Structure 1
Amino acid sequence: MARLVLLRHGESQWNLENRFTGWVDVPLSPRGIQEAKNAGDKLRGFTFNRAFSSVLARANETLRLALEGSGQTNIPIEKDKALNERMYGELQGLNKAETAKKFGDDQVKIWRRSFDVRPPGGESLKDTAERVLPYYESKIKPYVLKGETILIAAHGNSLRALVMELEQLSKEQVLELNIPTGAPLLYELDKNGKVLSHRYL
């Protein structure tokens, strides 16, 4: 049986400021640093074979702090932009509440949560999935099929795309899916990569 832990980065400075972040490389907030350390505490007792991360600093730093906290600092780590957050286009850097006042709450929710509607100049969740899932299939799943224990540090939407696939969620179900910052999500998978169970640690 393989174990796959998905870890959304700790709170970033722009999460704190309620701004659309996307591909902008912003650091963790003080709370985000603590969330990453807390995740490390929850991961003690796991022996990871390898880890994967996006190339963005908030995911890299979360991974580093979580692995330090779990007592594992010498495992192979692969970083790839395929795991990056959704690119939010013209919304990047804008305050979410102010954007909702301008365009309406419903429109902003569609931009943030829907499967196939793109924000202006940005990616939809469908677009994000079209880079996340091939990367998972080619680079990560082969280790799952070997029964390894793997940690992925990434972002709200890149992980939503992966969870949608793992749990076979519909477009309607994924609309309501939110992955909290700094909370390790454990999947146990069978020899074919199918989900046997999942829970937050």
Structure 2
Amino acid sequence: MGRRMPRVYLIRHGETEWSLNGRHTGVSDIPLTANGEKMVKEMSPRMIGKGKLINPNHLRHILISPRTRAQKTAELLFGDNKPVKCEFKTDPEVAEWDYGAYEGMLSKDIKKQKPDWSIWDDGCPPGETPGESPQQMSDRVDRVIAKVRAIHEAAEKAVENPDDADYADVIIFSHGHFSRCFIARWCEFPIRTGYHFAAEPGGLAVLGYQHHSLKEPSLLGLNWYTEDALEKR
């Protein structure tokens, strides 16, 4: 059996008022609801710890969106138990899709203006408040993936030093559309295939590799929930 391969854990922030009603939330700093905070606190002891899904001893880097909802999710998930050998970094590259003039709008209202609109094909409109196009989003996600792959590749070269090799897991605290785009591009699909992946508030995606090969990036698990989240589906 080969050694453990490194992973990237993709965590969407907890519930907000706008995630509940379906508004496009990009740059707006919408806080977690009380229930959103409760969800994250309940996830922590079940998800993080030695012998659990996320072993703090395997973590090397944690990237967090600048938005308050992502920052708070990271804070609540770890509490006072931050991994010692781990860098926490706020990274604008893992922020949500910039919706521009569509910020705060519902999809049904956008389609009143443009009936055939799809964010995956059309992105967000240019103009006074321009948003990101699918290509811009794809390029940004690819840059984040390149950062993660560089960390994993460095660990692969350190196999003669198992202690170094084990500290290669990455956590990204981000958002719904970013997460769906990341999963698609990690698996080397076009960004529009992100449509087929769900990223629920507080949900966790686990990505890594098959056959002990960095040349076979794969989705290992999607949407790890609290019981409360499961009951709502």
Distance (Å, rounded) in 2 between the aligned partners of 1:131 and 1:172 = 14
Aligned residues: 193
Segment of structure 1 superposing worse, 158-167 or 85-94: 158-167
> Deviations for 1:25-57, whole angstroms, at most 9, x for unmatched residues?
211122221232233232333122221111111
* Cα distance change, pair 83–43 in 1 and its aligned pair in 2 (3 A): same
Q: Which has the greater radius of gyration?
A: 2
- Residue 173 of structure 1 aligns with which residue? 193
Structure 1: unaligned runs, 5 residues or longer: none
Partners of 2:145 and 2:186 within 8 A in 1: no
Structure 2: unaligned runs, 5 residues or longer: 156-164, 225-233
Segment of structure 1 superposing worse, 93-102 or 154-163: 93-102
Partners of 2:176 and 2:199 within 8 A in 1: yes
Is 1:143 paired with 2:151? yes
* Cα distance change, pair 119–159 in 1 and its aligned pair in 2 (3 A): same
Distance (Å, rounded) in 2 between the aligned partners of 1:141 and 1:78 = 17
Which letter maps to 1:169? Answer: F
- Residue 125 of structure 1 aligns with which residue? 134
Distance (Å, rounded) in 2 between the aligned partners of 1:78 and 1:162 = 18
Is 1:199 paired with 2:221? yes
**What's the C-alpha RMSD, in Å, of the aligned pairs?**
2.4
Partners of 1:50 and 1:76 within 8 A in 2: yes
Identity %: 22
Determine which of 96, 100, 121 is the counterpart of 1:89: 100
- Residue 230 of structure 2 aligns with which residue? none
Displacement of 1:7: 0.6
SS in 2 for 1:2: coil
Pairwise mapping of residues 34-183 of structure 1 onto structure 2 (< 5 A)? 34-40=38-44, 41-44=46-49, 45=52, 46-47=55-56, 48-68=59-79, 71-74=81-84, 75-101=86-112, 103-104=114-115, 106-107=116-117, 110-111=118-119, 114=120, 116-120=121-125, 121-137=130-146, 139-145=147-153, 146=155, 147=165, 148-170=168-190, 173-183=193-203
TM-score normalized by the length of structure 1: 0.82
Determine which of 12, 29, 34 is the counterpart of 2:33: 29
Distance (Å, rounded) in 2 between the aligned partners of 1:14 and 1:49 = 32
Distance (Å, rounded) in 1 between the aligned partners of 2:145 and 2:193 = 21
Distance (Å, rounded) in 1 between the aligned partners of 2:218 and 2:192 = 23
Segment of structure 1 superposing worse, 86-95 or 29-38: 29-38
Is 1:185 paired with 2:205? yes
Partners of 1:125 and 1:157 within 8 A in 2: no
Distance (Å, rounded) in 1 between the aligned partners of 2:70 and 2:60 = 19
TM-score normalized by the length of structure 2: 0.72
SS in 2 for 1:123: coil
